[in-house]
Structure 1
């Protein structure tokens, strides 16, 4: 595995497209750079407009409290506006 690659592969299920999930930025920024749509508002992890389901993969948050409860995290919820990828990721399409 090449750790020098600056991004991971990411996609949206079902058939919502794929994008490069850059290690250096949020999933939301990567989604938008890839030309994909995702609901958003505050971009700081507090309004929860962008909340989604992480089907597979791992993310991390640069902030201590990303606006998710422990239960939501355990269920695979993610806030793409403040989540950064640690691996390849698959998100559930919020519009499906």
Structure 2
């Protein structure tokens, strides 16, 4: 019997938006499937079009080093196109 991945919530800070976010699905895909208009382009972690900031929660990447500097990561920036949720997350739009 296949194991069903964990289902979490992804919320956009200061907006009345919350979508389902599966543990095995990039956040950008979950946002789009939930009707959220989030900017994107490359979908492989290099162009930074989709960059946002993680206000709470955590994510992981299946690629070795997405297009984020150490400073970006320290500031909480994420690339939703290649970021997978580890639990419920709250995102902020744009780079900070």
Is the pair's TM-score, using the shorter chain for normalization, greater than 0.5? yes
TM score, norm. by length of structure 2? 0.89
Q: What's the CA shift string for 1:9-61, capped at 9, x where partnerless?
A: 11001114000111111000000010111000000000000000111000000
- Bigger mean CA offset, 33-42 vs 11-20: 11-20
Q: Please give the secondary structure, in 2, of the residue aligned with 1:80.
A: coil
Aligned residue-pair number: 91
> Taking structure 1 as the reference length, what is the TM-score of the superposition?
0.89
Contact kept, 8 Å, 1:59 with 1:84, in 2: the verdict is yes
Q: 1:16, 1:93 within 8 Å by CA — same for their partners in 2?
A: no
What is the RMSD of the two structures over their aligned residues, measured on CA atoms? 1.3
Gaps of 5+ in 1: none
- Contact 2:5-2:24 within 8 A present in 1 as well: no
Moved over 3 A (4+): none
The question of 1:23 aligning with 2:56 is answered: no
